[in-house]
Structure 1
Amino acid sequence: MDGLLLNTEDIYTFITNSILEEYGKPNLPWSIKAQLQGRPAPEAVKIFHDWAKLPISHEEYSQKLAVLQQKLFPSAAPLPGVVKLLNDLHATTKTGHPIYIALATSSHRKNFELKTGHLKELFSLFPKSNEVVGDDPRIGKGRGKPLPDIYLLALETINEELSAKGERPIKPEECLVFEDAVPGVEAGRRAGMQVVWCPHPGLLNEYKGREEEVLAGLTGEHKEEEKTDAEKEAEALQGERISRGNGSGKPGKLNDGWGRLLPTLENFPYEQYGIEVP
């Protein structure tokens, strides 16, 4: 959602730079911002503070963030091509070749509501049962992007509905993930899904020459670390998800054709994915 459907990444940047300026710090560079995008809040906060070294506690920083977010998130707007894309995909449900859509975002429910409350008509195109937010209890602790859980869970929500109708489940390889963030691309590839990467120009410049690496999910954003018991339990659940959904849990290969870079969601090439829009 953030930076892909809505211009909230620019809002995040403005808010962050406002706080940095208050303490005489330089603006947030894309080399750091690239690491924050798409990640769960706790991980993003740690990366940011390790770089910024602000003379205030994490709690004080979070309070300042919350005040500015409360003020600015309700001004979030759809990015170019988004309204048409979502309406086109939704329109296929009235045809013999329906496309099922789900929303998978690292934003927690409170911020999700702040960003979308004024855009109810647009976000009503996503069935409520197919919304997966960052603090969804079905996602284990420490299992956010770039791990694949959030996309596998989104697919589960769709397949539960199909099962209730007596229809066959959708496989990961039949899914298309739309992402702007590098950890998100990796999450999609680890879920065994195809990915469209539509990055901010600043992010694309940061990964210049490494585009194919990003599209394969091979940038190394996922690093194995020592795990707590809770994280091991969550990993076991994720393993079950992969098994049920036939996903690999592993990234792709360079130039395997399962990732595509698009500068914008305008004029989306439906025919290249076999999507028939009425």
Structure 2
Amino acid sequence: MGSTTPPPPPIRACLFDMDGLLIDSEDLYTIVTNTILERYGRSKLPWSIKAQLQGRPGPQAGAIFHNWAQLPISQEEFFAEQSILQREHFPNTQPLPGVPQLLQDLKQNGVHIALATSSQKGNYHLKTDHLAHLFDLFKPEHRVLGDDPRIPAGRGKPAPDIYILALKVLNDTLEARGEKLLQPEECLVFEDSVPGVESGRRAGMQAIWCPHPELLKEYKGREREVLAGLTGEHKEDEEEELRHTEKEVQEGKRRVGMPGEIDDGWGTLLHSLEGFPYDKFGIAKRI
């Protein structure tokens, strides 16, 4: 039985995660975490656990990690040691392959872009201040960070709120100019994490999943579920979810707050952002 979801429309906006998608900070997170684990005689962080941490806000990721690690120090002591190492490593982030060209191409071809990252303000600046040539392509008002007060507590990825907000800040700009507003289905979410893909799909948007090779191994055989946002990362009752996002639902549109369907054509797996397939998403290159 085929999907009941209508085919996706051409893309007018691209919404980007950051860690492990635009920059190599996920590898630096691993270095920092393994350094602390080694200090206390623990084994290295396995991808089965790291996969659960990716894309989530700090408090949620911290709870998952500490439940697994069982370190002989308090969470406060762990965070203090982690912060020292992060300040050492994060200023060394570099763009991942294909990212600078992709962002430049999108800007030059009139595609709207926004950032939607779970990183909070302090860490965001540690990771990006030396990469101004890259992140200045995102207007300040089009950057949504993990500690944005407009995102309710407990509503980080895989809930759809961060991408709904990213769409809103773009539409605020378009409305001020008197231009045609963007619809969720005209947005393409770029993610490396599984909770992030689910967040984008629950926002009623199309999604690119560009995972770390080791993460892809963890989800071998479940790739179609990931692309549909059906891996069950989001645990809230769906009826409550729909009530929360009811104001976002428009007649004839996909139901915001719900995941997609297997093989509905709204999710795409890419192994790299190099050589991005613009034509597939209705983006006509004018360069």
Q: Give the TM-score range, shorter chain.
A: over 0.9
Q: 1:264 aligns with which of 239, 261, 272?
A: 272
Q: 2:247 aligns with which of 231, 240, 243?
A: 240
Give 1:156's aligned residue: 168
1:253 aligns with 2:265: no
Give 1:182's aligned residue: 194
Question: Which consecutive residues of structure 2, in runs of 5 or more, have no partner in the other structure?
Answer: 1-17
1:72 aligns with 2:89: yes
Residues of 2 paired with 1:255 and 1:235: CA distance? 23
User: SS of 1:145's equivalent?
Assistant: coil
1:103 aligns with 2:115: yes
1:219 aligns with 2:227: no
Q: 1:210 aligns with which of 222, 226, 233?
A: 222
Question: Which consecutive residues of structure 1, in runs of 5 or more, have no partner in the other structure?
Answer: 93-97, 226-231
Give 1:23's aligned residue: 40
Query: Which residue identity lines up with residue 254 of structure 1 in the other structure?
Result: I
Contact 2:245 2:256 in 1 (8 A): no
Give 1:42's aligned residue: 59
Give 1:87's aligned residue: 104
User: SS of 1:62's equivalent?
Assistant: helix
Give CA-to-partner distance per residue, 1:169-204, whole Å, 9 cap, x none: 100000000000000000000000000000000000
1:2 aligns with 2:10: no
Residues of 2 paired with 1:267 and 1:247: CA distance? 32
Give CA-to-partner distance per residue, 1:92-141, whole Å, 9 cap, x none: 1xxxxx21000000000110000000001110111111000000000000
Residues of 2 paired with 1:246 and 1:206: CA distance? 29
Residues of 2 paired with 1:21 and 1:235: CA distance? 44
Greater RCO (Cα-Cα under 8 Å, separation 6 or more):
2
Structure 2 CA distance for partners of 1:170 and 1:46, relative to 1, 3 Å = same
What TM-score do you get using the length of structure 2 for normalisation?
0.89
Contact 1:191 1:242 in 2 (8 A): no
Residues of 1 paired with 2:24 and 2:249: CA distance? 32
1:194 aligns with 2:201: no
Structure 2 CA distance for partners of 1:208 and 1:246, relative to 1, 3 Å = closer
Give 1:229's aligned residue: none
Aligned residues: 266
RMSD: 1.7
What TM-score do you get using the length of structure 1 for normalisation?
0.92
**Aligned residues with identical type, % of pairs:** 59
| Deviation of the 1:243 alpha carbon | 5.6
